[in-house]
Amino acid sequence: MNPRRRTACILAGLALLGSAISIHAQTYPTRPVRMIVPYAPGGAPDVLARSLSPSLSDTFKQQFIVENRPGAGGIGAAEAVAHSSADGQVLFFSDIQQLAINPYLFAKLPYEVARDFTPVALAATIPLYVAVQSSLNVHNLAELAALAKAKPGVLTYGSSGIGSIHHITMESLKNGLGIDIVHVPYKGSGQSIPAFMGGETSLVIAAYPALEQYVKTGKARFIAVTTLDRPTMTPDVPAVSETIPGFDFSSEMGIVVPAGTPATIVNQLSSALAAALKHPDAVQRLKAMGATPIGSTPEGYASNIRTNLEKFGKAVKLAGITPN
């Protein structure tokens, strides 16, 4: 084949490839999109998915349907998504448990984060607050450390369960302060908060909305928030990082798709999610559960996941959790 004809064939091939990519991008999605949520209705990832669904449906002219698959720390839901077709028709509305904590809690998982998922966007973060009984003479972390060191093993804290972000965060806090506070695990904040208010534990760690009414009525007191900086909604609550430099543990929610999903679809979804997170209805619903909208790029979320895997790998060891 002469050089001119070879060049013409190459150009023709590139043109056809470009047309195919363009058509593929324009026709996505070809049917209703499933939004897999690894928790029961009412949980934070579920609220996030339902908040974004209307905007996504409007943008793509297809229904985005929430499908709840609770149980086993989201392992079954994650496995289902990992084994789905890489065509953007199935989205995983995960949180930090499935992507950064489970890999260190279980010796064998039916999915591997780096191998089986492609990040789309970090959607939102939820700060965690450390609260004490109002009767406890503790107003900040310095006073908590002093009391705990004076009475090692006497104070207790409630979490949402062994291996939860609440548990791992508090163990990291204890390590940073060099104190001994006994962990009392419950089955979610729905149990840990009432137990705390009933006097069963000295402290509790949870999201803002779960504790707001008790703090406002003087029954409990915030002494720290686990984000790197003070959230705008609670500017008077010190960040743990002001006492333990670099301390940053938040509940995070993001969207991933099966590995191998075309970049054109991933980028379309990421852009649409960023726009949906700015919709007034979504902003209001996220604010109500104490969440801060993010809407990162796929690359930004990929970097975030890598950082979290490293951070939580160390934190799980500090918590003394042995993989099952």
Residues 228 and 239 sit within 8 Å (Cβ to Cβ): yes
Residue among 97, 93, 99 nearest 164 (CA): 97
Q: What is the pTM of this model?
A: 0.86
DSSP string, 161-197: STTSHHHHHHHHHHHHHT---EEEE-SSHHHHHHHHH
**What pLDDT sits at residue 18?**
45
**What pLDDT sits at residue 323?**
86
State the virtual CA torsion across 148, 150, 154, 158 in degrees, nearest 10.
Answer: -10
**What pLDDT sits at residue 5?**
53
DSSP string, 26-89: HH--SSPEEEEESS-TTSHHHHHHHHHHHHHHHHHTS-EEEEE--SGGGHHHHHHHHTS-SSSS
Can you point out the beta strands (E) in 85-169?
A: 90-95, 117-133, 156-159
Residues 120 and 269 sit within 8 Å (Cβ to Cβ): yes
Chain centroid to CA 93: how far? 9
Please give the Cα distance from 16 to 66 (Å, whole number). Answer: 36
Q: Which residues contact 21 (CB under 8 A, 6 or more apart)?
A: 264
- Check residue 165 and give left, alpha or beta (phi > 0: left; psi -120 to 50: alpha): alpha
Residue among 124, 101, 121 nearest 113 (CA): 101
Please give the Cα distance from 218 to 209 (Å, whole number). Answer: 15
151: its two tokens: 């009475």
**What pLDDT sits at residue 20?**
42
**What pLDDT sits at residue 22?**
43
Quote the radius of gyration of the chain (alpha carbons, Å): 23
Name all domains of the chain by residue range, CATH numbers in brackets: 33-126+251-319 (3.40.190.150), 128-242 (3.40.190.10)
120: its two tokens: 């789309």
**What pLDDT sits at residue 14?**
40
pLDDT tens sequence for the chain (324 residues): 554 554 444 444 444 444 444 444 458 999 999 999 999 998 899 999 999 999 999 999 999 999 999 988 899 999 999 999 999 999 999 999 999 999 999 999 999 999 999 999 999 999 999 999 999 999 999 999 999 999 999 999 999 999 999 999 999 999 999 999 999 999 989 999 999 999 999 999 999 999 999 999 999 999 999 999 999 999 999 999 999 999 999 999 999 999 999 999 999 999 999 999 999 999 999 999 999 999 999 999 999 999 999 999 999 998 999 888
**What pLDDT sits at residue 43?**
87
The H helix count followed by the E strand count for the chain is: 13, 10
